[in-house]
Amino acid sequence: MYYLNKSNEILKNNEIYIPGGVVSLNRKSDPNICFVKGKGSRVWDIDGNEYIDYQAGFAAAFLGHNDEQVNEAVKHSLNEDMLLMGAGPTELEGEFAELFCKAVPFAEKIQITTSGSEATYHAIRLARAATERDHVIIIQGGYNGWFNEVAANVISDLKDVGERVSPGEYPYDGLSAGVPDSTKKLVHIVNFNDLESIDFLLTKYPIACIILEPILQNIGIVLPLDGYLQGLRDRADRDGFLLIFDEVKSGFRHAIGGYQSICGIQPDISTFGKAVANGYPLGVIAGKKELMDLFVHPEKSKRVLIAGTFNAHPLNTIAAIATLKKLADPSYDVYNHVDKLGKMMEEGLNNILSPYGIPFYVSRMKSAFCTYFMDHQPKDFHDLAKNNNMNFDKEYRKRLIQKGIFNFPLPVKQGSISYAHTEDDIAETLAKTKIVLQEMIG
């Protein structure tokens, strides 16, 4: 029986000492669920309910929860009393850096952080130092972290950002109070797949960089139109700004070389996180040698600071090493396995939804998928906000949770299949999806 008595009690108790009761307010959800265990494709809450999981820590647990090889490597680091002294290099960070650069063809050098937000923060700082410009372009509906320049315009209310404009930009719809107006004036927001607006901004401002997810994966799976990413690359080369791919979500999930290895477009800088260490806290800034070497530029006025006591912490770094080795090992056949399951999910959802006559579109990139309740693949945030049936989407997700199928209960959030999922998991998910739709539509 599905119930959440203890979960709600935990939240109530936490709220006494923690604002909102959770340490990342992006985790707060309706229904409120306190998860206590995860193994493979399954998670369990404190009330004893079991779920097939497609949230995966916002896509981080690509190999599955508590992957055996990754956890054994972490246990080894504990048993060997591995040390982060805070002085000098470590063998682990060098080993990871070499593995990473061999896996991601466009990465010549890297630096390591403890989160994706830190990585994107450093990427923008590098771009400003390299170009000696201050203005930044971000994408409406994208998410690049929590800091001032990018804490804006993910899932905005259209009354706050207005109707679609092109060429043009949208107002800074902040996710947080406390962002200075001076910062907002340096940040320019445009829709995904809109090169005309990029051209418009280039005539008005000295642009240091554009930072974007090459696939918008915080509002489902919104794919780049043909020529869009190449158009950005061409403009960056022509006008001297830097192209930054935020692959914190897409990196290592779609290919061991990141989405950039699939689309064949070389960013100047890219950022990674989440799946790179199968959910252990680690971020990466990767890029061209001449840009990355700004971290050690001999002139103080051109040197970019990077520091962090816990950067390349041994537990996280050895988890990342184990993850990359498993992803690269042909005996595991990770990418073919998850792509096969992704196809099974996509085809199954299409077959189940088609007879009902309601607008829907199943968007997928290999192991990542989203069912939109609109009749076409969205091309940008405005398309999605105007056409997706958000109320139906939310109710659909809630009912699946009650049946033991967990994805984040917020409309248009991505579903993530892990290497630990099986064909039986997908079949059970589809069977329960059919029941939910029968209940909702009849």
- Statement: the pTM of the whole predicted model exceeds 0.85: yes
Structure tokens at 302: 């051109």
User: Nearest 5°: CA angle at 66, between 62 and 71?
Assistant: 110
Q: Digits of tens for pLDDT over the chain (442 positions)?
A: 688 999 999 999 999 999 999 999 888 889 999 999 999 999 999 999 999 999 999 999 999 999 999 999 999 989 989 888 778 899 999 999 999 999 999 999 999 999 999 999 999 999 999 999 999 999 999 999 999 999 998 888 899 999 999 999 999 988 889 999 999 999 999 999 999 999 999 999 999 999 999 999 999 999 999 999 999 999 999 999 999 999 999 999 999 999 999 999 999 999 999 999 999 999 999 999 999 999 999 999 999 999 999 999 999 999 999 999 999 999 999 999 999 999 999 999 999 999 999 999 999 999 999 999 999 999 999 999 999 999 999 999 999 999 999 999 999 999 999 999 999 999 999 999 999 999 999 8
- pLDDT for the residue numbered 1: 64
Please name the residues in contact with 75: beta carbons below 8 A apart, sequence gap of 6 or more: none
Q: Provide the residue ranges of all domains of the chain, joining segments of one domain with +.
A: 5-66+333-441, 69-328
The number of beta carbons lying within 10 Å of the beta carbon of residue 201 is 20
Q: What's phi and psi for 368, nearest 5 deg?
A: -105, 140
Amino acid identity, residue 73? A
Tell me the CATH number for domain 69-328. Answer: 3.40.640.10
DSSP 414: P
Rounded to whole angstroms, the Cα distance separating 206 from 242 reads 12
- Structural fold of domain 5-66+333-441: Aspartate Aminotransferase, domain 1 (3.90.1150)
- pLDDT for the residue numbered 442: 80
- pLDDT for the residue numbered 390: 97
List of long-range contacts for 40-47, beta carbons under 8 Å, 24+ apart: 40/64, 40/65, 40/66, 40/418, 40/420, 40/421, 41/65, 41/418, 41/420, 41/421, 41/422, 41/425, 43/406, 45/4, 45/7, 46/6, 46/7, 46/10, 47/3, 47/4, 47/5, 47/6, 47/7
Structure tokens at 296: 């050690």
